[in-house]
Structure 1
């Protein structure tokens, strides 16, 4: 869709450059298009195309919220995140000052406003049966703590949160003989009381190091934590190759909320995964109560993923039905959380 649009607009001697995950995920389709493909590991190709004084490898992966918003082409896609999970709350917040305050805090936390984005690592250690991140990004590749600190010093603003960007924050440092905890405490040591957002923390890690994570949340000011559990059914988690027990993870999440009630914990739930029956779906619904913002994603089949060969794929009707039910139920969950918690400082 977007390629056709740009192809019609480009001048005769111009070229279209495609950069990102899709290059490796759908290589055969990309090769048929009239463009220059550059995947995440081929950034040096930009040096051959553009005559810049600064080489691609010398550009640090960080930016502020202003730059981030300028880079987002279709802002409507992101605006929907402000609406869909909060429909019920946005109607009723007019009648409650408490809900209004919490609602605004959630919306601001859930979008790209007032944040400094710093990439800490790429890739992951997992091999989820449905996910293409491993194919596109490869194994974990962490940036040294000193480089991350250097980037932070260049952009630091006490009024903004630092948003740590990674495909899995929890696996940070495994390849460079350090760990996620050392990074966080070094950042907090430099800027005591700094507010941090965590992007994609695999539940596997909080189950493996529960005490360390509970301690971390109790000592560090964490505004937002994305912990994608994907399903409330251990049966489905097993076929997804997600290596954790949902009951154990939920208990840890509850303890994290006890020690850090102002932290907004949100999660992704992948609906209509192959083999997910009604009971599995109900278990997923039930487990959303442990999170402040449960987000629904509908499973889509990709020919290169392991899960594409699984049996019992769901019909489009089933996918849409479960999505609608999930949205209705989780709107109530979010409204309840806005009512009982005080997320404001």
Structure 2
């Protein structure tokens, strides 16, 4: 009988792309992949360490696996596994913990699947994470997450990612293009580029700080890949998003007018405490540049509230800065202390109740911004890529500029691109539309 393996991924798109690569390795070794809710011989949990909540969820997920099969072998990989391997190994039910480099050789560690009293740890020192493993994930048959870069050389005071993933390093351009062509051959319509710091694309193996290629060259090369209808840039640092890239996206048929640009704070004082590599004036310039060449572009923003030293005045400065910016939505993170970061030792700790209140205010602002952006696009003609899931009798999809639409379920639309006119916003905040071909025949 073939052994069965199941996967659970916490965290970012990059983690999803890596889980897919690890899963394909298992399948090549003769394992059957099953859903995490099904009975499996091995459960692999790909962990995240960005927030306190992700740490807590790990224990819950291990318990879920054990409910389905008490005798299953449980493996922890990912960022949390690299940062706190002993802590994860001590969680009841965990048998094996693998660090940043070991996770890609996971099947080498599975000679004996008998349960352990305490998890076994194989974790390198993070400065040994000096090689690059390319990967991509296919989500729901309509889009794929393609990893192009890993690690980070930035020293933001709140962030554990460099400790968990090591230095900035990139895939070779030839490999990225081969992976993109492979994705295209599977009839996937959209690729989302992912990495830890993708604007830093081009740095080679360990110790090689020279960029073999730039991010702009990567964008130009991917634009030429046959069969990919849409290319989406995921999160990119404002100081690394250059005008040449913005101008190229504006003219490209494949790259879509959607950017996600971390801000973290609208207060220059707080940005300096965070050791970010820009101030608000540069951020503002980036937004204005995008909107000047792509007025219909969707722009998402990451913000952290409650950072040590953030006063009420600093927070209000962030609030007003974002309110005045022509952006489309926010991802709001409530600051949580992470071990071995500079910020964890800082004074001016913001009470958790205050953090929570600030987070709620920004989430309200995000809803307002998204609504205003959707309203600004009503009456325009857009292209929708439809998803594969039937959600309570509706099919959902996204326009090129990331507006979420809905229509009565129709399986013939799955993974198809259609021209539509955006009509109105439904009670649930999603947009109703009419097909252009129907309008023309009316």
Scaled by the length of structure 1, what TM-score is found? Answer: 0.77
Distance 1:160 1:283 in 2: 41
Greater per-residue helix proportion: 1
SS class of match (1:2): helix
Check conservation: 2:230, 2:256, Cα contact below 8 A. yes
Distance 1:344 1:41 in 2: 43
Residues 1:37 and 2:113 are matched in the alignment:
no
Partner of 1:82: none
Question: CA shift at 1:193, angstroms?
Answer: 8.1
Query: Matches of residues 136-151 of structure 1 in structure 2 within 5 Å?
Result: 136-151=164-179
Check conservation: 2:181, 2:227, Cα contact below 8 A. no
Q: For residues 82-139 of structure 1, what are the alpha-carbon distances to aligned partners after superposition, in whole Å with 9 as ceiling and x for unaligned?
A: xxxxxxxxxxxxxxxxxxxxxxxxxxxxxxxx31221101112211110111111111
Of 239, 244, 247, which residue of structure 2 is paired with 1:212?
Answer: 244
Scaled by the length of structure 2, what TM-score is found? Answer: 0.61
Residues 1:115 and 2:143 are matched in the alignment:
yes
Check conservation: 1:158, 1:194, Cα contact below 8 A. no
Of 167, 174, 177, which residue of structure 1 is paired with 2:196?
Answer: 167
Greater per-residue strand proportion: 2
Of 155, 160, 164, which residue of structure 2 is paired with 1:127?
Answer: 155
Residues 1:197 and 2:232 are matched in the alignment:
yes
Residues 1:327 and 2:363 are matched in the alignment:
yes
Partner of 2:344: 308
Distance 1:258 1:195 in 2: 22
Q: For residues 164-195 of structure 1, what are the alpha-carbon distances to aligned partners after superposition, in whole Å with 9 as ceiling and x for unaligned?
A: 01111100103351111111101112349842
Question: CA shift at 1:160, angstroms?
Answer: 1.9
Distance 2:108 2:327 in 1: 46
Question: CA shift at 1:151, angstroms?
Answer: 1.0
Question: CA shift at 1:308, angstroms?
Answer: 0.4
Residues 1:154 and 2:154 are matched in the alignment:
no
Residues 1:252 and 2:286 are matched in the alignment:
yes
Change (3 A) 1:308 1:28: farther
Of 223, 238, 260, which residue of structure 2 is paired with 1:226?
Answer: 260
Question: CA shift at 1:294, angstroms?
Answer: 1.4
Partner of 1:46: 106
Query: Matches of residues 247-286 of structure 1 in structure 2 within 5 Å?
Result: 247-286=281-320
Change (3 A) 1:219 1:125: farther
Change (3 A) 1:2 1:65: closer
Distance 1:215 1:4 in 2: 49
Q: Larger deviation: 25-34 or 246-255?
A: 25-34
Higher Cα radius of gyration: 2
Q: For residues 49-74 of structure 1, what are the alpha-carbon distances to aligned partners after superposition, in whole Å with 9 as ceiling and x for unaligned?
A: 458xxxxx99851132237xxxxxxx
| Structure 2 unaligned spans of 5+ | 1-59, 112-130, 205-210, 384-442
SS class of match (1:16): strand
Residues 1:3 and 2:62 are matched in the alignment:
yes
SS class of match (1:162): strand
| Structure 1 unaligned spans of 5+ | 52-56, 68-113
Relative contact order higher in (CA < 8 Å, ≥ 6 apart): 1
Partner of 1:24: 82
Residues 1:187 and 2:222 are matched in the alignment:
yes
Change (3 A) 1:343 1:261: farther
Check conservation: 2:306, 2:355, Cα contact below 8 A. yes
Question: CA shift at 1:335, angstroms?
Answer: 1.4
Residues 1:292 and 2:328 are matched in the alignment:
yes
Question: CA shift at 1:329, angstroms?
Answer: 2.3
Distance 1:336 1:66 in 2: 29
Change (3 A) 1:278 1:45: same
Query: Matches of residues 78-117 of structure 1 in structure 2 within 5 Å?
Result: 114-117=142-145
